[in-house]
Homo-oligomer: A and B are copies of this chain.
């Protein structure tokens, strides 16, 4: 059964016709690892709901340094929210880490969905609320905790996909250099 519908059902109740509209306006797609779905400075015209595999979003700063913004596992959405919502060029890349099956929702179809199936408005509101909360927590964590503690929090949150993530990307996500991360890990093993 469709994982997206199942996911929507956790928050709002759709009629079978509503569900039909959702299926009609979304499109399953598969991508190989290392595929780039969105490039920095491009407009993000679609968001992705992950069925299988792992994706990530990241930015490259003025000094050429990569910063991982998010990892997306199954049942998560990923997009450059700024660009997707404003339809202006964004800062993020979106890349497939592990061969992925996703459901694609274009910005256009998202708007159609809102007007044709008003209940989805609530579903997406709740989704965004949850990401906002997660984001604020991460911000506070970054201000409050040391790199070691942040790593600990990270492993708990992402333990299921941990073995698939190159550690330079974990380092980047928690906000330290790969060199420092490597040293930190070695130190932790000694305990």
Interface, chain A (partner B; CB < 8 A): 59, 61-62, 65, 67, 69, 81-82, 85-86, 91, 114, 118, 121-122, 124-125, 128-129, 131-133, 135-140, 142-144, 175
Contacts and interface: CB of A to CB of B under 8 A. Distances in A.
- Name the 9 nearest CB pairs between A and B, nearest first: A125-B125, A61-B144, A132-B132, A135-B135, A82-B133, A128-B128, A67-B143, A143-B175, A121-B121
Contacts of A121: 121-122, 125
A123 to B, nearest CB: 10
Nearest to A114: B122
A2 to B, nearest CB: 23
20 contacts: A59-B140, A61-B144, A65-B144, A69-B139, A69-B140, A81-B132, A81-B133, A82-B136, A82-B137, A85-B133, A91-B140, A118-B118, A124-B125, A128-B128, A132-B132, A135-B135, A135-B139, A139-B139, A139-B142, A142-B142
Contacts of A69: 136, 139-140
